[in-house]
Structure 1
């Protein structure tokens, strides 16, 4: 729900006492366990769930779902409500910030650490991604709230709603293989909702037990895939997660690597990036495949299925061992193309029985299915094996690099355009009376908070009707229209009246940069496509200066991108004092210009396009 920034977010406003009490009662009704909790660090539970300075704002998510967001006085999200046409069906949901204070507030499902990384890309949690072996699955009904834990940690990393009942997930153990969604994800650690808050470090007691896997390791339950070696290529199509709309599964990188080596696979699901074809097909001899698979086997037995975790992982069926351990841990390069069907053994069971004869493992045939029982960790070949970089490690590293680059780009290019107000002669005395600067710029939430503080301090609320405000001399001058005589006004009109006696501005600025305040409304960037002399199409761009974009630098970027000549001239009709200029580039370049503007962080609603060529045609 918050994979991308919200499509719209109204201004935040402080909650009235009655609204705050109503919200607190709703939270306690939804999560009754809070009523019996002891204070945390001498702070009452009610003061934690609905602290002083609580604010709210309406929002619409990028998938056009409406809701309400509740934050503390510093803007850290605490709760959000998913709106419904039926108010009784609206759901109040704690954010990760709140869940870290109450980690046992909602029952949870546990998944592997690499799956969490993929959930952050906007995927829903699938049943194969839920750890069911030696882990309790809560008895939740479909649609109930559920949190997501990473294996070995006690603090939730996300929250969502059950796509199926907990009984259905628990009963999937041993299916061939388990399929379908487990959880519809609403909010995750490090998503756009999380980014709105203060982003603290992970709690100091993050882990509550011995963590046997690293963050970039891949493991799965021994029920995730149940098929023999002949059906391996079909099992690889099943994944731990899916895209947000459930159109198609999203597979782990190691699974994609395995599938690319299967000659029978002709296509890749649309939910993942397509695998580029190799210019020259890598052809491995049977001897090379045997060697690479054996090295992958040694890597798994030495670094993955160790003595420390053997009791938890073994026994394990052969197909799970191969698809979830051997394939992801092949070496990078040519070895990544190794596949059991291209080996001299051809079949998985035949290969593992050969390995068993080498005294590396012990297997047992149970009702026609080969089961891995134990490992000989003292085998000389295991002791001398040094290891290698695996295809799964390479994919994880690449994903982290790409994620870091995307985040850095997002942080650097985020442009904020906000409304602001500055006192005029009528309202200046009010700001001086409250100890604020009469030359400052104020947002609407700040003005509302300032009014509430002043009214409370001066005790201006009407004792008989709290909705009415009695005006003193200072507040009367700040709220009244010219020539208007006022003794009192409704409380909900105070902020609108104050804004009417202020000068309207907009602030425009990039993150971590001093914003620029512009009087009046924001004028969009104009892109005009027209036919010039000689019936040649040209594209003109103006209004860049207001968005802190250097015209000369932008012109050079467009010239290189479009491979066209440009001309930078003074903007016709603009005051010479403003030094405004426009860029003209040859050809119909609207798409290229728009793409560069969006890349620089200019919101799309501030880009206007006028096509004059259509009229002349």
Structure 2
């Protein structure tokens, strides 16, 4: 919804006390959990959700969705209300507010590569939802609010509405997930709504697990038979099926396990040691042969212990332990141990099938081995520390995990779904290229002075540079002190200035760059052209005989076939259509104008938007309107 800047935004005005109380009551009614929360740093919850100085403004998104935006006194978005008839009176917290109350709304978990897709404007697909192990999938109705978290992080990165009921998504647990959308994204971290605010740093307790993502594609095997088995393509012969199931429990001989900064090769002898005989039960159901893996208690104990070693060596490492410990035993088990079981038969291991039966009993037995340190606090067991020099950790080589397998599958599905959605979709980009004044800045940050950069990228470059060089004024973080590089990049001709407001820096940088644009299909390599986008012009006027006509020009710039467009208008408008050379244009360009009878501005606009032309690049001139 905020992938692009809003089409229109009214002026912000402070809310009256009565309006602020009304909004507060509406929020509390929509999110009852807030009523039971204790004050945060002695600040009442009501003062956090609807603070003094709250402002509001009407807006219309780039997809023509009307709504109301609520910000604090400094302009940081806190809430927005969607005002369309389908989603009437739905009030939604922004990422800024969700970081204050990370568990306010039920959530789904996805992989980091999928979050990047969401930031690019995609909706969350069902295969992108992590359902492995005991990862929760709440039973949410269609259109219910839901947040999206990245694997291993506790704070939401997106908020949207359910496109598919949660029960449907949960039913695919352990199987190949169906295609289709899981969540319609309304707002995502780093989108245009986010950049309107303070662009705050990630919370200090951001990570519940390692914030470092290991690309699952690096662990792909050349052998595709295991993929075929996981997709449910069985063999006709039960003996071959048993053999295949046995093969799937083997870790990839070529595989590697993720480490904190690199990946360590798995010792072949240890891999061979994991090869064991597994029992395969053949069940008969209406003539169809099915298989079920049966693990012994000793095997379950072994697989769970290996999963714990995987977590302690590659996830809860010594470098990140200070940030995430102490940790509850339930979080350790559900968010770390279960996803880090080895692929194959080990993925069936569960604490209830172990010799200990209960999680606390198992962890206390591990503590007796001097591997971990636990403590019971108010009836709940916590993991406090790890013996990093323990021989078991020193000799453990690692294995390919369920988590990596799910990541690879989700990544492939997301890319496939995105590729299908992007096919023949028009893409309009505006980017800036450095000139002589700003070239030094880009070379200083390791970027090409001949590159093309979007406004979002420029803002991120500036923010990173300010932070690295510590250029924010200590007394006022909204003021940036200019060094020698920034004076050239942000300065205006003849201007002598040492400090500028932070919110002016991107505009100043853009003024020292050259605007370019690209119009083409998604997936193609952009070829930028100097200058801004020339909009399509729709002119409605009265011709001789008091007949109203609608003229359209500039279609060629957006790769729209003029003849096809004219035929579509003729059918849609049920009127005569004429195509003539564009008056005033060079004959070499062969630009043409389409004219259709009647006041057809609305129909023409709809056809253009269906073809992917953003509304901000459609210019309408109505010469029939009466002058006031």
Which TM bucket (shorter chain)?
0.3 to 0.5
> Larger Cα Rg: Structure 1 or Structure 2?
1
TM-score, normalised with respect to structure 2: 0.42
